[in-house]
Structure 1
Amino acid sequence: MIKISIIIKTLNEAANIAKAIESALAAVADYDGEVIIADSASTDGTVAIAKQFPTSVVVLEDVLERRCGVGPQLGYQYCRGEYIYILDGDMELDAAFIRKAIEILDHQNEVAGVGGYIHEMRTDNLELKGRIKRFQRARKKDSRDVDCLNGGGLYRRTAISQVGYLSDRNLHAFEEYDLGARLRSRGWRLVLLEDKAVDHYSYAMGTWRLLWHRIFSGRFLSSGELFRAAMAGRYVGRVLREVRIVPLSIGVWAYWACSILAAQLTLPTLTLLTAAGMPIAVMAIRTKSLNLGLFSVLTWYLSAGGFAVGVLRRRCPPEASIRSRVVHSAAHAVARPEATPESLWAG
């Protein structure tokens, strides 16, 4: 029986993947463990580099299925660990964190997952700067129960088996939140430690270039996709309370509906200009930055548009097998693609 599986999800991470794999191998060195690269059909040298290490490498066959939720679930199809860690291809894992997380899962049977501090190594854009500020406001000493483990975490296989699947393949984002909501609905706890879990080498691109990347990658569909997942998983109330962008996206539609209605009754041009400028002014004052205020409001509008599209998108069964192929096997034999994680666990 394997103690720990580390799944590294990748898409064009040739610049970072070697360090990610080395850190994962170091983290499992003291355990009976495995490292699995779950690649979403990279077009650079990611797979070639990964094949140089004692890891298993599986590749997504259909590029149209590329989403944030696909990678973890693809790796889950092949992994055999009692505990499972999800690592991005641009992260370096801290072995000390893994030891502490395993200790918690070994002795606290009600805990489904353990996460830690994500150390951002780059602050090239406003999104990352905002993310760091939000974390610093929320950061507390010791450990605390949380809604989800953003940025990765170590999960208990038996908890994942109970909720049916690891990651919803339909989601362009919020796959960690969806998993957390499903686990909490079954009574499991998620624990966040103050300890550093990873160093994160995020996108080396400026604010507006990153925004275009988010648009073309489909990320702005994710709030609507999450709402659909919440409807299927019966946790709509949770998502409205806990995921700010969902009620915000709905609120943007309501705000403009009311503004257009008001424009019909008063001075149309002045009313619409005021409606357009007020959110930017409020956010600029709140963030003490005109650029960050403008960026925030533009993100709201893109998310609101994506929400409508995402809600209407057809969903694939999230527990269905993802078409893939094994291109490299580690010393341990990997499972056949048609085998389910539960059947592997039973064996």
Structure 2
Amino acid sequence: MRVTIGIKALNEERRIADAISSALRALEPFDGEVILADSGSRDRTVEIARAMPVRIVQLADQSQRCCGAGAQLAFQQARGDYFYLLDGDMVLNPAFLPAAVDFLERNPEFAGVAGAVREVHTDNAEFQIRAQAVAGGEGWRAGLVDRLDCGGLYRVSAIREVGYFADRNLHAFEEFDLGARLQARGWKLARLDAPGVDHYGHQQSGYRLLWARLRSGYAGAAGEVLRAALGREHLGIVLRRLSHVRNAVAVAAWWIVLAALALNPWMTPGSRLLALLALLAAPMAFLAWRRRSLRLGLYSLASWNIGAFAFFQGLFRRRAPPEQPLSLITITPSD
């Protein structure tokens, strides 16, 4: 079998039919398969998928649910020489897969390749910031990259070499973690100047999304990635390239300085207040300038603080061996 497309999903009834249909169209030139890895959907996601020509597996222990587990569950069942990871809220451009396979076959030093990502829904602050990054940020432009955010096509032999596709413990950043492990072994990753996927994303408000990510563990994923890298050959890459680690340390240092100012017995109340106000205003002004919007700057400040708090939760969160296979349930097609 040439190509496996794995689709990870949780409660994606609105988009799953489009995601699967796009994957099936992309596979038409190849001997391939589509695998839906469901993390325990409570809507019609599985029901819709059962009516389509795909293999469906579901996470047996839903307490293990996270982004890394969903991706690894799909990869566990893959039989192709190449593996494409697609989210259930994405639509794959059918022309991309032939270009990606051709690129990997002509460039044996590359472990994976992705295409351009189009963010469709940019109504909330989170995805407006994401769209700004996608429009020209490092890692989203064509050329060498350090990760394949929003999915890509991977050489399965390269994945086998680094042990597993996605760390089952990670609530996010599973693509970054995989990229770091691959690069530590000498593999390269690339993004092509060709349409890859349309990403529909969340439509809830940015602040509600922040709260949901804090509750689910997603916000602490940078700490989980650092924890997973301790003592491993890709630790240096994580420390150099994952900006969320540096941001969390910087925010924690900011908290310490704020606390020291607030408790400083040698300052007058007036000077202490002015110093605190200046220290509070400085990051707000910087982020508003960086995002070119006061509203987005305020959201970024909230996101950075929540991310720093959750970072330390993730850093000390218990881990299961990432090489250990996930238990699954196989779901049969409908008649």
Q: State TM-score, norm by structure 2.
A: 0.94
Any residues of structure 2 matched to 1:129-168 within 5 Å, and which?
129-138=128-137, 143-168=142-167
1:189-215 CA-to-partner distances (Å, cap 9, x unmatched) read 101011111111111222222222222
1:15-70 CA-to-partner distances (Å, cap 9, x unmatched) read 10001001101111111100000000001010111111110000011121111101
Task: Give the match for residue 333 of structure 1.
Answer: none
Aligned equivalents of 1:215 and 1:243: distance in 2? 19
Aligned equivalents of 1:141 and 1:72: distance in 2? 21
Aligned equivalents of 1:142 and 1:289: distance in 2? 23
Structure 2: 5+ residue runs without aligned partners?
Answer: none
Does the 8 Å contact 1:140/1:194 carry over to 2? no
Report the CA distance between 1:251 and its aligned residue. Answer: 1.1
Aligned equivalents of 1:210 and 1:283: distance in 2? 19
Report the CA distance between 1:97 and its aligned residue. Answer: 0.5
The letter of the residue matching 2:225 is: L
Report the CA distance between 1:309 and its aligned residue. Answer: 0.7
Report the CA distance between 1:259 and its aligned residue. Answer: 2.9
1:187 aligns to 2:196 (yes or no) = no
Aligned equivalents of 1:19 and 1:210: distance in 2? 24
Structure 1: 5+ residue runs without aligned partners?
Answer: 331-347
Report the CA distance between 1:142 and its aligned residue. Answer: 8.6
Aligned equivalents of 1:24 and 1:220: distance in 2? 29
Aligned equivalents of 1:157 and 1:285: distance in 2? 43
The letter of the residue matching 2:36 is: I
Aligned length: 329
Report the CA distance between 1:232 and its aligned residue. Answer: 4.5
Task: Give the match for residue 301 of structure 1.
Answer: 305
Task: Give the match for residue 13 of structure 2.
Answer: 14
Q: Describe the SS at the equivalent of 2:95.
A: helix
Q: Describe the SS at the equivalent of 1:192.
A: strand
Q: Describe the SS at the equivalent of 1:145.
A: strand
1:276 aligns to 2:275 (yes or no) = no
Q: Describe the SS at the equivalent of 1:278.
A: helix
Q: State TM-score, norm by structure 1.
A: 0.90
Task: Give the match for residue 30 of structure 2.
Answer: 31
Aligned equivalents of 1:66 and 1:140: distance in 2? 27
Aligned equivalents of 1:234 and 1:140: distance in 2? 22
Aligned equivalents of 1:141 and 1:179: distance in 2? 17
Q: Describe the SS at the equivalent of 1:64.
A: helix
Does the 8 Å contact 2:57/2:331 carry over to 1? yes
Aligned equivalents of 2:140 and 2:146: distance in 1? 17
1:208 aligns to 2:207 (yes or no) = yes
Q: Describe the SS at the equivalent of 1:150.
A: coil
The letter of the residue matching 2:303 is: T
Instruction: Return closer, same or farther for 1:120/1:186 CA change in 2, 3 Å cut-off.
Output: same
Stretch moving more, 258-267 or 77-86: 258-267
Aligned equivalents of 1:296 and 1:122: distance in 2? 18
1:217-264 CA-to-partner distances (Å, cap 9, x unmatched) read 221111111110121533232222211111110111112213322441
Task: Give the match for residue 109 of structure 2.
Answer: 110
Out of 327, 333, 336, the residue aligned to residue 331 of structure 2 is 327
1:81 aligns to 2:70 (yes or no) = no
Instruction: Indicate the RMSD between aligned Cα atoms, in angstroms.
Output: 1.8
1:293-325 CA-to-partner distances (Å, cap 9, x unmatched) read 110011111011011111111111011010111
Instruction: Return closer, same or farther for 1:240/1:139 CA change in 2, 3 Å cut-off.
Output: closer
Out of 310, 315, 318, the residue aligned to residue 311 of structure 1 is 315
1:286 aligns to 2:296 (yes or no) = no
1:263-289 CA-to-partner distances (Å, cap 9, x unmatched) read 414344443343333211221233232
Task: Give the match for residue 90 of structure 2.
Answer: 91
Any residues of structure 2 matched to 1:247-262 within 5 Å, and which?
247-262=246-261
Instruction: Return closer, same or farther for 1:149/1:251 CA change in 2, 3 Å cut-off.
Output: same
1:242 aligns to 2:216 (yes or no) = no
Task: Give the match for residue 217 of structure 1.
Answer: 216
Instruction: Return closer, same or farther for 1:81/1:141 CA change in 2, 3 Å cut-off.
Output: closer
Task: Give the match for residue 125 of structure 1.
Answer: 124
